[in-house]
Amino acid sequence: MVPTVSLKPAGRSCWDEPLGISVHGLAPEQPVTLRAALRDEKGALFRAHARYRADDHGGLDLARAPALGGSFAGIEPMGLLWALEPERPLWRLIKRDVWTPFVVELEVLDGHEPDGGRLLARAVHERHFMAPGVRRVPVREGRVRATLFLPPGNGPFPGIIDLFGIGGGLPEYRASLLAGKGFAVMALAYYNYDDLPKDMDIIHLEYFEEAVNYLLSHPQVKGPGIGLLGISRGGELCLSMASFLKGITAAVIINGSLANVVGKLCYKDETLPPLRVNADRIRVTKDGLSDISDVLSCPIEGPDQKSIIPVERSDTTFLLLVGQDDRNWKSEFYANEISKRLEAHGKEKPQVICYPETGHYIEPPYFPWCKASLHAYFGKPVVFGGEPRAHAMAQVDAWQKLQTFFHKHLDGEVRTTLAKL
């Protein structure tokens, strides 16, 4: 019998969906190595491999069989994806064009040598970023530069604004995936994109207010309020939006900060200065990389208190997602302070979920953990923190939790979404 790889779903799936991988037609207890590879849009190769042994009938199902070593060990049905590692040092897997899939190549090799064994079977699978029927609408309205992703159907859908952090541009992949779950999601650029400012020296919240009003007045967006989703500096901006602006019902902050950073934040006649940066506190790790987790001044002491975002003004319901090994800044401390401040002012206590051994860059499921890459502010590679497996599990859980949270608070529904690692 010729060995074959079988994938469920076959041929194509969405990037955030679990993929069933099995092999048939092997010899009983045959040792094999499975290899996965994909190339990003800049041509960088990402690879993972794991050693397995077929069962007594010559079958191998990654949902049941433990990996015996390689890029990961144990029962890890999605290990070949979350354990992908870049060949190029300090390279992060980024999806730039959401119209096209990442193409994953899977190979089964005889024996336990990742590069030596005879090729027994091969499959190619497309991992897409837009579920069937999702629509991509570029937005250039007034000052707003964004891309709106609408689910199939007429709606109206619960609306969400999605923000990334330092580096700017207009990353769309998280918004496009989330639109596949029934939300109208607008990825919003705010600097280093199109005709927007090239830096973040001054952030005017009026720009974000315009974006909120645009989304709320869209005929396919359900009111009365919208949701916000942001990571890192983007999470911190969501906190400022929820504190100063109207029309925001629910916000998910992934590793955000309690205080304003980088540039001045202005809204009407109010200004928050940025937290002070102490570049001399950059530490060098044993791998020669930079750890910036101590560079920001403590916002609850001395003059830096002026940078604190006045969360107590907010009537938004918050979900704070925290990587406990965030090496970019002190996300757990910030989340606890946000929670204390809201409670002290009689506001709704936020839901805080802390993930152990999880770093700064919590992405949608199956994006491989990135140890370190170029940080646009410091101009050098910085570590993000986390351990690959724990970080991967956190990404799957966080993705489910944020969907459940948004469905509950924007849609009035309690739905449970299921995903497997």
Which of 13, 71, 232, 339 is the catalytic position? 232
CB of 343 to ligand MFK, least distance (A): 26
Binding site for ligand MFK (CB under 6 A): 91-92, 94, 164-169, 171, 231-234, 261-262, 277, 292, 295-296, 328-329, 373-374, 376-377
CB of 87 to ligand MFK, least distance (A): 12
DSSP per-residue string spanning 350-415: PEEEEETT--S---STTPPP-SEEEETTTTEEEE----HHHHHHHHHHHHHHHHHHHHHHHHS---
CB of 54 to ligand MFK, least distance (A): 36
CB of 261 to ligand MFK, least distance (A): 5
Residue 119 CA to residue 206 CA, distance in Å, equals 58
326 annotated active-site: yes
CB of 263 to ligand MFK, least distance (A): 9
Nearer to ligand MFK, 120 or 188 (CB): 188
Which of 339, 357, 419 is closest to 394 using CA atoms? 357
Nearer to ligand MFK, 234 or 388 (CB): 234
Write the CA distances from 113 to 3, 67, 69, 110, integer angstroms: 18, 14, 11, 8
Instruction: Output b/e per residue, 173-183; b: 16+ Cβ within 10 A.
Output: bbbbbbbbbbb
Neighbours of 211 (CB within 10 A): 26
Token reading at 95 = 């999806």
Instruction: Tokens 């969405």: give the residue.
Output: 14
State whether residue 164 is helix, strand or coil.
coil
DSSP state of 52: E
Nearer to ligand MFK, 139 or 200 (CB): 200
Residue 275 CA to residue 259 CA, distance in Å, equals 7
Give the contacts of 217 (CB within 8 A, at least 6 positions apart).
Answer: none
Nearer to ligand MFK, 123 or 300 (CB): 300
Residue 178 CA to residue 263 CA, distance in Å, equals 30
Q: How many residues make up the chain in this entry?
A: 421
360 annotated active-site: yes
Nearer to ligand MFK, 266 or 277 (CB): 277
State whether residue 213 is helix, strand or coil.
helix
Nearer to ligand MFK, 47 or 233 (CB): 233
CB of 380 to ligand MFK, least distance (A): 9
Partners of 254 in the beta sheet? 231, 321
Residue 316 CA to residue 186 CA, distance in Å, equals 19
CB of 29 to ligand MFK, least distance (A): 40
State whether residue 135 is helix, strand or coil.
strand
Nearer to ligand MFK, 246 or 281 (CB): 281
Which of 240, 326, 373, 391 is the catalytic position? 326
232 annotated active-site: yes
Do residues 265 and 272 make contact, with C-beta atoms less than 8 angstroms apart?
A: yes
Which of 49, 112, 128, 360 is the catalytic position? 360
Say whether the peptide bond before residue 381 is cis (omega within 30 degrees of 0): no
Give the residue numbers marked as catalytic.
232, 326, 360
